[in-house]
Amino acid sequence: MAQVLAGVGNPSSVHGEGRAARRILEDARTLLAGMLGTDPDGITFTSGGTEANDLALGAAPGRPVLVGATEHASVLEAVPDAPRIPVGPDGLIDMAALAGLLAEHRPGLVSVMLVNNETGVVQDIQRLAVEVHAAGALLHVDAVQALGKLPGVTLAALGCDLLTVSAHKIGGPQGVGALSARPGLLLPARLRGGGQEGRRRAGTHNLPGIAGFAQAIRLLDSAEPERLLGLRRRLEARLLAGLPDAAIAGAAAPRAPHITALVLLGRPAELQVIRLDLAGIAVSAGAACSSGKVQASHVLQAMGLGPLAGCALRLSLGWSSTEAEVDRAADAISGLHRPAGTLPAMAPPLPNGMTVAT
Amino acid sequence: MNPDHLLADLDLPAGARVVVAMSGGVDSSVCAGLLAEAGFDVVGITMQLYDHGQATGRAGSCCAGRDIRDARAVADRLGIPHFVLDYEERFRRQVIDEFAAGYAAGRTPIPCVRCNERIKFGDLLESAQELGAAALVTGHYVRRLRTLERTELHRGRDSAKDQSYFLFATTDRQLARLRFPLGGLTKAETRAHAQRLGLPVAEKAESQDICFVPDGDHASVVTALRPEAGQSGEIVDDAGRVLGRHKGLAGITVGQRRGLGVAAPERMYVTEIDPVSRRVTIAPKARARMRSALLDRLHLVGAAAAGELPGEVMAKHRYNEPAQPATVQRDEAGRVEVVFREPQLGIARGQACVLYDGSRLLGGGWIERAAA
């Protein structure tokens, strides 16, 4: 990536520098296609997961779209009128409701995420794919949170037609992502102009970002998911031991190894997050709009948690998380339930890669 | 003004944690700056209360308002933590809805008092306690003074900015945990502090009268929520003669003279609003003046004991009217009548009648009706 930043040509140019740039671009495309089990022609580089989702949602022009109720805002807001497929209390798509909605709306496209960003719940995409394809619709899967954390994030293994991925969730740079499409699937462009990316996405390539994405793929450690799962189990065991009235959202469903949604009875998440921050613990607000206000989670509301949807902390583990840090985080969060004013004066900050979010 | 002096006035342990309610305006920004300068552990909180798009039923506005960005920029400049708390739903339910319902019922509501009473000194004060703060600090121009026996609220030193009227419903429990560092300052001094502290809002214009009403057009906010308040009705004189029609109760208040669209030989003032028939009565000045205001009850501030009310008080029946000499009478049912020495124009249902002894805020109540 540094190399690219030092001498950036435009991969769309025909001169020598442009050709060198194009080689970097096409190498990255081949690498990503190999990882996602598709043809390089099916890869469209974008500015991130949001744009890739938006591009995917336009894959069936003029036909209705169905989306999962717990999808990321970049899906829900892109198609605000799309009927939402309900989930059960475990966070998994309600298959009977899906069948009903497929019959009622006869959609051209269904969009369901693989790993939920707030709860880590993993959907049974293969099973969904059978239903969706039988109804004559395309299946788009937002796999932003799954890449590098779950095995089998490929079009073939999942049985889907479109797959969204993002670089920064696997340690790459922010501001770059990709949509992988089944070969031969026609994707109408959202951004028009120069005709880049096979006329699917106009605009000069973010070559440093794409090179960084490729490097992050090369550096992925296949043992990491297992390590994260061990840490997550340790974290959850300590939290539940220290917080008698807490629960893990989606605990009954298969979950990705790196996300825990901790629901605390009776304490609004926004104040908990502020208290953690004031106690010196690095905190980021997950479901925040651009003003920074913390909103009740639509994901937990969809899971039927009602008023508790505003009482959840989201904890994410990253590549640099260690057992010692997990223990410290668990202790600090358990401290939240002490009466006001008795919080430990200054807990040491959590290191990189671990955030507490709502 | 000497910051050490301010510190002594605040009646707080040195270095204590305080929450400053930061609106993004000059006043609360200076509060945060002065307390940070004085060595307090300042936590800035901005309340997300509304967005103009929702309040007016217009789409397309974002919740990230200019004021929130300003508050954040001030906090960054001061190096203090800053958070945004979402009170939109509570504010809509407890302040905006009641504001609209008030107009529909022929009243002239004051949302700022309800906001102080229920949101700022209710929910936000509670949150400040949760965060371990010794006090909640706001930029109101009022003075909190401690005597040996009690804590009192007094008018702000800057008479043009005094906001004590809006704080008449403050309870003693709230007062114990509230601090108002600007009470002893003039607006010019506050701006000078903003300059001195290098705050990015030093030149910012004064905020509007009612924060959630864009461009001062409160009638459109009211009618968006209460369409019946936009239905026209008759305008009659005090003999019952129909003189014209109004465009809805949302734009009408007792004491109003302009904007009625009625041609009459004399200046006519609104004296009565009947929400059922939507009939508005107007009268010439001589017959529009009222002698007294009946209050729902008397709320006393700073443990002002009942027997302690002075025989004559100064009473303010509208924020923009100067206080007038009056006496307070109470019947067995606890109803309170404030009798003005001089008859008053514009004693309106829904407004507050607030009582003073010199600079001291004694208390007040909501006006139920005016009597001749």
Residue B202, pLDDT above cutoff 70: yes
CATH superfamily of this structure's domain B3-215? HUPs (3.40.50.620)
- List the single residue in B65, B85, B131 with the smallest CB-CB distance to A278: B131
Can you spell out the DSSP letters for A293-327?
A: -B---HHHHHTT-GGGGGSEEEEE--TT--HHHHH
Give, for B233, the enclosing helix (H) or strand (E): strand B233-237
Strands B352-357 and B142-146: unpaired
Annotation: CATH topology of B231-286: SH3 type barrels. (2.30.30)
Chain A residue with Cα closest to B80: A278
Annotation: CATH topology of A2-218: Aspartate Aminotransferase; domain 2 (3.40.640)
What's the burial of A30, exposed, middle or buried (CB within 10 Å: 0-12/13-18/19+)?
middle
Classify residue A288 by its DSSP letter.
Answer: B
Q: What is the mean pLDDT of chain B?
A: 89
Q: Band of the pLDDT at A16, cuts 50, 70, 90?
A: confident
Query: What are the extents of the domains in chain A?
Result: 2-218, 224-357
Kindly determine whether residue B132 and residue A277, on different chains, have CB atoms separated by under 8 Å: no
- CB of B86 within 8 Å of any CB in chain A? yes
Q: Return phi, psi of residue A242, to 5°.
A: -85, -15
- Mean pLDDT across the stretch A191-203? 89
Chain B residues with CB under 8 Å of A290 CB are 62-64
- Mean pLDDT across the stretch B353-372? 93
Residue with tokens 């994260």: A228
Chain A residue with Cα closest to B84: A293
Q: Band of the pLDDT at B8, cuts 50, 70, 90?
A: low
- List the single residue in A277, A278, A295 with the smallest CB-CB distance to B86: A295
- The two tokens of residue A281 are 């613990």
- Mean pLDDT across the stretch A110-137? 97
- CB of B129 within 8 Å of any CB in chain A? yes
Residue B113, pLDDT above cutoff 80: yes
Task: Find out whether B117 and B159 touch, Cβ atoms under 8 Å.
Answer: no
Interface-testing mutation among A264, A293, A301, with chain B (most B C-beta atoms within 10 A): A293
Chain A residue with Cα closest to B133: A341
Give the tens place of pLDDT for each residue, A287-341: 433 334 456 688 988 999 877 777 788 888 888 889 988 888 888 888 765 544 4
**What length is written for chain B?**
372
Spatial separation of the C-alpha atoms in residues A13 and A97, rounded to whole Å: 50
Task: Find out whether A140 and A161 touch, Cβ atoms under 8 Å.
Answer: yes
Task: Find out whether A187 and A193 touch, Cβ atoms under 8 Å.
Answer: no
Domain made up of B290-371: CATH architecture = Beta Barrel (2.40)
Residue with tokens 């270095």: B15
Helix B218-225 / helix B97-104 crossing angle, nearest 10 deg: 90
Residue with tokens 């006329």: A199
Give the tens place of pLDDT for each residue, A230-283: 999 999 999 999 888 889 999 999 999 999 988 887 767 778 788 878 876 654
Residue B56, pLDDT above cutoff 50: no
Question: Chain-centre distance of CA A55, in angstroms?
Answer: 16
Chain A residue with Cα closest to B81: A278
Out of A165-174, A268-277, A348-357, B214-223, the most confident range is A165-174
Kindly determine whether residue A291 and residue B85, on different chains, have CB atoms separated by under 8 Å: no
Catalytic residue, from A233, A289, A327, A348: name it.
A289
Q: Which residue has the higher pLDDT, B326 or B298?
A: B326
B37-69 CB burial, b ≥16 within 10 A, e <16: bbebbbbbbbbbbbbbebbbeeeeeebbbebbb
Percent of chain B with pLDDT over 90: 68
CATH code, residues A224-357: 3.90.1150.10
ipTM over 0.85: no
Q: Return phi, psi of residue A299, to 5°.
A: -65, -50
State the catalytic residues of B: 115, 211
Do B3-215 and B290-371 agree at the fold level? Answer: no
Kindly determine whether residue B43 and residue A275, on different chains, have CB atoms separated by under 8 Å: no
Beta bridge partners of B366: B352
3-state secondary structure B170-219: CCHHHHHCEECCCCCCCHHHHHHHHHHCCCCCCCCCCCCCCCCCHHHCHH
- Mean pLDDT across the stretch B112-121? 90
Task: Find out whether A189 and A199 touch, Cβ atoms under 8 Å.
Answer: yes
* Cα distance between the two ends of chain A: 32
Question: Chain-centre distance of CA A333, in angstroms?
Answer: 24
- CB of B84 within 8 Å of any CB in chain A? yes
Residue A112, pLDDT above cutoff 80: yes
- CB of B49 within 8 Å of any CB in chain A? no
Residue B64, pLDDT above cutoff 70: no
Kindly determine whether residue A291 and residue B64, on different chains, have CB atoms separated by under 8 Å: yes
Q: Which residue has the higher pLDDT, B208 or A166?
A: A166
Give, for A289, the enclosing helix (H) or strand (E): none
Kindly determine whether residue B86 and residue A278, on different chains, have CB atoms separated by under 8 Å: no
Query: What are the extents of the domains in chain B?
Result: 3-215, 231-286, 290-371
Kindly determine whether residue A294 and residue B62, on different chains, have CB atoms separated by under 8 Å: no
Residue A84: what residue type?
R
> Any idea which of A170-184, A188-202, B171-185 has the lowest mean pLDDT?
A188-202
